[in-house]
Amino acid sequence: MNLLKLILVLFGTISLGLGLVGIIVPGLPTTPFFLLSAGLYLRSSEKLYKRLLSTKWIGPYIIKYKTNKGLTKRSKTIAIITMWFMIALSGFVFINSLPARTALLIAGLIGTYVMGFIIPTVLISDDKDN
């Protein structure tokens, strides 16, 4: 494996880790990190890419994104509402520190921006399962 591929695998793995942490930590988006991991693995390691796509929870989501070339408006709306619900819950129930609340708010704003404006929105006639 050459140095560039090794670097891509490293960043793909870091991105995957951040995406997994984002499942638990409100405000930290998961989707962009999982998509970034898939793109980095695709360019560096076919084995890691196939392994990521074969996972029960992440794989179908990435495959659907790749097939549709983006997320539906409904999927984005659900993701953003869920993210902000968890941010509100954490920020007002579990976090008492103003700097931590501020960091959480900033992370939520960044996540909302990425989900709303960076990740492409696609129109699909059958939107019921997205």
The span from the CA of 109 to the CA of 84, in Å, is: 9
In angstroms, the CA 53 to CA 38 distance is: 8
Query: For residue 20, what is the DSSP state?
Result: H
- For residue 78 the two structure tokens come to 């659900």
- pLDDT tens column, 71-100: 888 888 888 888 888 888 888 888 889 998
* Mean pLDDT lowest among 21-25, 50-54, 77-81, 113-117: 21-25
Q: What confidence score (pLDDT) does residue 60 get?
A: 86
> What pLDDT is stored for residue 43 in this prediction?
94
**Partners of 72 in beta bridges:** 122
The residues near 127 (Cβ < 8 Å, ≥ 6 apart) are 72, 73, 74
For tokens 């696609």, name the residue: 122
Per-residue tokens: 68: 């549709």
pLDDT at 125 over 60: no
Both tokens of 99, joined, read: 């700097």
Judged by DSSP in three states, 121 sits in strand
Looking at residue 130, what is its pLDDT? 46
Nearest to 79 by CA among 33, 37, 38, 41: 33
